[in-house]
Chain A
Amino acid sequence: MSGTLLLAKAEISRLRRNKRYLIFTVALPVMFYLIFGKQNANGYGVSFKAFYMVGMASFGAFSGAFNNNTIRISQERKDGWIRQLRLTPLPANGYVVAKILASMATTVPSIVVVFLLGRFYGGVQMPIWKWIVCALAIWIGTLIFAALAVALGYKLDPDSVQPVAIVVFFFFSIFGGLWFPLSGALQKFGEFTPTYQIVKISTDVIGQGSIALINVIGVVVWFVIFVALATLAVRSTAETV
């Protein structure tokens, strides 16, 4: 395990230096919130300020755990870095676990910064436990996308993974309602996405102080599906990685 943690630490320091990563996970959500955050509207029974805070924090975390990992894993597989690691005493699952741990660590700033912005710029006020539950929901939700990133990164080559990652990212962002609250037919469809479920868990906490079981089940089901896909992808490429 110590080897895995060491690699996770190295991954985190790599990400901290990466400007692109900071732009997508922190700067972009902050900018969007500054521009659109103060609308006088509602979403899922809470103020737009609160909804958009949850949406942008999820957007930043999702982007950090998914976009970045998908492309890097694919590239590092092609370059032979994963293969190189397999020749070291690092445990077989060390690379994937380190990637996920690093994503979990590096999505914290997106969530914290956007939440601070929501509190002090948007004026969102709620009890401290709600802040914590919302932050945790989004943070744990990033695991789902880290798992999907592993599946796609192992299965697709760098050339084809980029467009696929962009399509998946926009699909889940738009139909999950990260940028605007869903309603009507769009909501009926979007309800099934993991991004919607994560946002809905948070807005339910903010608005009603409760969580709908159906959304928790949804998140768990997506997580299980993506972990299964990731496991299959890693296994099926075992001899070529």
Chain B
Amino acid sequence: MSQYETGYGASGNNGGGSGYGGDTAQDSRDGYASTSGHSTVASYSYGASRGGAPVVSFENVSKYYGRLKAVDGLTLDLRAGETTALLGPNGAGKSTSLDMLLALRKPTSGKIQMFGSDPYTGVKSGRVGAMLQSGGLMPEVTVRELVTLVTGLHPRPEPVETTLKRAGIAQFADQRVDRLSGGQTQRVRFALAICGQSELIVLDEPTTAMDVETRRLFWSSMKEEVAEGRTLLFATHYLEEADQAADRILVINRGRLLADGTPAEIKARAGAKRISFRLDEVNEPFLLGLPGLVNLEVRHDIVQIQSSDSDATLYAVLDAGYRPRDIEVTSLGLEQAFLAITAEDDAANGNAHAGEAI
């Protein structure tokens, strides 16, 4: 249990959220060190230089649909100016978490705060712009009319023309909303998320239905938004997007936060490198004790190791007198890292309580 608490603690247990904020480098070291071993819970301190109260905080938030646990004790903070990706497989609780953050659903237990008040007040103050997968558009009006309407609802609106340009919808602004293609519709929904001068932007799977070119344009306009100091939270299943766009990635599975760190840290968490070699006499207990080892697979004489420190792992093998053949060291992408983290969790789920008791 204590490991569990420590794991999440960096982001939430200390009230003011000092786990991220003005914390020392030592804290980050600790956070890192505690997870580089065999522990199943990852936590990294992030953005040690950023200060101030969190834009968003989840405190032990759970959501049940009947007996189904969609979100399970989620604790996290988002700080001003961060771009955070929420990464998880389908049904991981991403959408439910965003729904609760945006006051569309109420948590069964726990507390969510946005700009220091409740989510509803936060949303109605116009300080957040959001685009959800489930959000729809008003039919029978033109794109410009719709954007003008929603812009008018904001206390601090952006000029309509600016929004149309930024969202890349100016060229079809006079078309009717119900006659757009899927990708165009998605861009209009994006326009509605950025038509006010919001401090926080929340996007659920923003680039679904966009082609590659549109997706590129989308992220470049998103970078403009972020450059103005906005905080961005987006859920995605495109790992590549999380890797390229996010400062920080939150990996969630089964409603729980599994990992929290920069893309590089997440990759390291899962064992950033895969080492494979052939070895005639495999000594599994020895291999399991290797430094940096995250995962081990042995098939006949083929050994595959996922390692957070491939150099150290390999030197240890050589130092022990082994002379493996066909050595290959390959980098894992975020995708493999993500799969490794969630697979580990799924495997551990059967004895989740044992895991917590470490």
Chain A residues in contact with chain B, CB under 8 A? 3, 6-7, 10, 13-14, 17-18, 76, 79-84, 86-92, 239
Contacts of B128 in A (CB 8 A): 87
Q: How far is the CA of A79 from the CA of B132 in the complex (A)?
A: 12
Interface of B, helix, strand, loop or mixed by DSSP: loop
Contact B124 A91 (CB under 8 A): yes
Q: How far is the CA of A76 from the CA of B106 in the complex (A)?
A: 22
Task: Tell which of B144-152, B266-274, B337-345 binds the partner.
Answer: B144-152
Contact A17 B153 (CB under 8 A): no
Measured CB to CB, the closest approach of chain A to B106, in angstroms, equals 7
Contact B125 A6 (CB under 8 A): no
Contacts of B145 in A (CB 8 A): 10, 13
Closest to A14 in B: B140
Q: How far is the CA of A69 from the CA of B123 in the complex (A)?
A: 27
A-B contact pairs, 11 of them (CB 8 A): A6-B153, A10-B145, A14-B141, A79-B137, A84-B136, A87-B102, A87-B128, A87-B193, A88-B192, A92-B120, A239-B104
Contact A76 B103 (CB under 8 A): no
Contact A239 B126 (CB under 8 A): no
| B49 CB-CB contact with A under 8 Å | no
Contact A88 B150 (CB under 8 A): yes
Q: How far is the CA of A202 from the CA of B131 in the complex (A)?
A: 49
Chain B residues in contact with chain A, CB under 8 A? 102-106, 120, 123-126, 128-132, 134-141, 145, 149-150, 152-155, 189, 192-193, 196
Interface of A, helix, strand, loop or mixed by DSSP: helix
Closest to B202 in A: A87
What's the A-B contact tally at a CB cutoff of 8 Å? Answer: 79
Partner of B136, one of A3, A81, A92: A81
Contacts of A89 in B (CB 8 A): 123-126, 153-155, 196
Q: How far is the CA of A14 from the CA of B104 in the complex (A)?
A: 27
Partner of A18, one of B126, B131, B140, B192: B140
Measured CB to CB, the closest approach of chain B to A39, in angstroms, equals 39
Measured CB to CB, the closest approach of chain A to B187, in angstroms, equals 14
Contacts of B149 in A (CB 8 A): 6-7, 10
Contacts of B141 in A (CB 8 A): 10, 13-14
Measured CB to CB, the closest approach of chain A to B285, in angstroms, equals 52
Q: Which residue, B123, B126, B130, B152, has most C-beta atoms of chain A within 10 A?
A: B152
Contacts of B104 in A (CB 8 A): 83, 86-87, 239
Contact A86 B103 (CB under 8 A): yes
Closest to A80 in B: B136
Q: How far is the CA of A163 from the CA of B131 in the complex (A)?
A: 33
Q: How far is the CA of A91 from the CA of B130 in the complex (A)?
A: 16
Closest to A6 in B: B152
- Starting from the known contacts A81-B139, A86-B104, 19 additional A-B residue pairs (CB-CB under 8 Å) come to A3-B152, A6-B152, A10-B141, A10-B149, A13-B145, A14-B138, A14-B140, A76-B136, A79-B136, A80-B132, A81-B136, A84-B192, A86-B102, A87-B135, A88-B126, A88-B153, A88-B154, A89-B126, A92-B124
Contact B196 A80 (CB under 8 A): no
Closest to B156 in A: A89
Measured CB to CB, the closest approach of chain B to A103, in angstroms, equals 16
Contacts of A239 in B (CB 8 A): 104-106
